[in-house]
């Protein structure tokens, strides 16, 4: 089945939230860090490299690299051609940075992470929250990981379903129609029909997705 043109994917939700936070929703001077899981890149996405990437974004936003991190780097670069940080080191550094500065961590599509690393990441996030309860963590994914998140993070989880709303569908249809590469095939009556009938009849994304994927062919 062609999976082209989903109205509202988890990564779009994540990027929307991240942009909103970066624009100041989280308060001035907040650190915002994100990570997008990708099933195709599971090999490179270990718990250490993922949380290291989160830390990298936090540190990148500071005026100066924290001394603790600079020192760890200085120690490790001299041995065996440069050893990388270990997960406990990264977690400790994140605990420190998040205690100093309000931090938002957004993890997209956690269900696409290898189970072993998923457990480590949730456990690490819990450690960060224990040290710095003001830290905000956004996780997106399929509903089946909800229980796992609740269990590993020991409660304190609010869940929101990301089923698209009617306005989302209309905005999306407008966008797709505007991008039509063969506009001559469209007329105002057909466009009005599309904009009226699809949002009326379809509200569930899993039904909408394959239909929208074939929309251009259907039009032409």
Partner 1 sequence: MYLLAAYPQTCISAYLLVLSCITPCPIGSLTIYWMVLRHPWSYTNIHFSLTPRNSTTCSQSIPSSIISNIYNILSVEEQGMSQSFSNNTNSLNTTVNNFSVADDRSDILAWLSPLEPRLRHQDIRDQRVEDVGEWLLQTEEFRSWCAGSGGDESDNAVLFCYGDPGVGKTYIR
Among positions 39-68, residues that touch partner 1 (CB under 8 A) are 39, 44-45, 48-57, 59-60, 62-68
| Least distance from partner 1 to the Cβ atom of residue 81, Å | 12
Q: How far is CA 80 from CA 67, 68, 77, 83, in A?
A: 22, 21, 8, 7
Rank residues 2 and 189 by Cβ distance to partner 1 and give the closer one. Answer: 2
Tell me how far CA of residue 191 lies from CA of 171, 178, 202, in angstroms: 13, 10, 16
Please state, in angstroms and rounded to a whole number, the distance separating the CA atoms of residues 32 and 197.
40
For partner 1, the closer CB: 74 or 115: 74
Closer residue to partner 1 (CB): 1 or 182:
1
Q: Applying CB under 8 A, what is the total number of residues that bind partner 1?
A: 104
Question: Which residues, numbered 142-171, are part of the site for partner 1 (CB under 8 A)?
Answer: 142-146, 149, 153, 156-165, 167-168, 171
DSSP state, residue 155: S
CA distance 215 to 93: 49
Strands 103-108 and 31-36: parallel
Q: Restricting to residues 68-127, name those near partner 1 by CB under 8 A.
A: 68-70, 73-74, 76-77, 82, 84-85, 90, 96-97, 100-102, 109, 111-112, 125
């Amino acid at each position: 089945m062609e999976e082209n043109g989903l109205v509202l994917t988890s990564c779009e939700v994540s990027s929307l939230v991240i942009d909103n936070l970066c624009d100041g929703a989280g308060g001035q001077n907040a650190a915002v860090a994100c990570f997008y899981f990708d099933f195709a890149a599971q090999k490179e996405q270990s718990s250490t490299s993922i949380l290291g990437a989160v830390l990298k974004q936090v540190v990148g936003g500071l005026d100066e690299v924290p001394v603790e991190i600079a020192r760890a780097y200085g120690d490790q670069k001299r041995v065996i051609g440069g050893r990388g940080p270990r997960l406990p080191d990264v977690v400790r550094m994140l605990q420190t940075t998040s205690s100093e500065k309000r931090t938002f961590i957004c993890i997209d599509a956690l269900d696409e992470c290898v189970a072993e690393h998923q457990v480590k990441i949730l456990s690490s996030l819990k450690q960060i929250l224990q040290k710095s309860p003001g830290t905000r963590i956004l996780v997106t994914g399929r509903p089946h990981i909800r229980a796992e998140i609740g269990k590993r993070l020991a409660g304190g989880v609010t869940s929101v379903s990301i089923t698209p709303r009617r306005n989302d569908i209309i905005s999306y249809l407008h966008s797709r129609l505007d991008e039509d590469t063969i506009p001559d095939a469209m007329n105002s009556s057909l466009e009005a029909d599309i904009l009226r009938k699809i949002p009326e009849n379809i509200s569930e994304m899993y039904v909408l997705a394959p239909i929208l994927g074939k929309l251009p062919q259907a039009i032409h």
